[in-house]
Structure 1
Amino acid sequence: EVQHVSSEVLNLLRASRSPGDSAESSADDSSKDRDPFKGEDVHVHFPAGGIPKDGPSAGVAVLLCLASLLLSRPMRSDTAVTGEITLRGHVLPVGGIRDKVLAAHRAGLRHVLLPFGNQRHVKDDVPASAVGEIELHFVKHIDEALAWAFADNVKPLTPVESTAGASSDAPGFGSLSRL
């Protein structure tokens, strides 16, 4: 089946790829072993560019995927994840909790990581039958999400002063190589 991709998405993908190509082609042999994120902040932004989305609820999931890639370690595959992340690593509540928990339940997942601030939504909106068959884990900070996703030998990320010129009230998080 052929899917239609809008020109906005193609332009977005081309623009996203160019800096990576430049960095890769200009890297010399001495920089290949260097931690590319040491002393750097990483900011992931999903512009409107033809990609429909409804809110920031993929923040924790994106962070865990990036951590998995950077660490070359798989994260737990039995867990669904949702939550918005602040610049300081706090996990904020998101909408659609009922549908997300029920979708995880239907998919046969055993665990769901949810923002701590969504506990009331689970109690009020999610059928007890689904809650009884799936383990819900409420997190307040990305450290807790990282610990769950990579269950063994995980050291928490601690805020460090930003080296990318961000304001002092918006620290980045240190290199994931500490995990």
Structure 2
Amino acid sequence: ETSTQTKREFRCMNDEYSECRTGQYTLKLSRKVISNHFGRNKACTRLITSWPLFCRKHYQRATYKPALWQRRKVALILRQFAIIEEQFPGTTYTVSLKKSEMERLNTFARAMDSGKTASEAGALVKEEEGGKAFMAPIDVLRELQHELGRGKTLDDVRGVMALVNTMLRDGETKEVPSIEFLPEIK
């Protein structure tokens, strides 16, 4: 090891083709950038040994360009499906929305059942601009609800991400919705 080389505890995935030179090479300074879409620290994800990590600086910079970052997240999620498949062939997934998004969807459905129009029901669950967490438009959640459930195959979850990618491209949503793909590792 030469004096110009530094011990790195992780590889920053900001650029897969060149080495990160921010000086942030300890795991403490890394960010597991898409773990929230895989249940973060839930038991089902602890067995997965490989995650895309960014150094803190590159993660912050990446999020400064929101549209580009969302497309990048889609690519990283698709990449993670391949990593999980390689480590645990035949893995199926439970696909779910974050609890708060599921509650919005349920509130919308109850309002519709009580005779409100889609517009009136939508007003009850309108996304808050500038809120702490991103809230997907209700029409996006309504479309995604058909993809939720247990036992989803690799093709199924890739299809969900293709749908999300289309929604991003078409401007239906500004961010990847708060959807989780919980691996059912056997």
TM-score range, shorter chain: under 0.3
The structure, 1 or 2, with the larger RCO (C-alpha pairs under 8 Å, 6+ apart) is 2
Please report the TM-score for the alignment, with normalisation by the length of structure 2.
0.25
Q: Which has the higher helix share?
A: 2
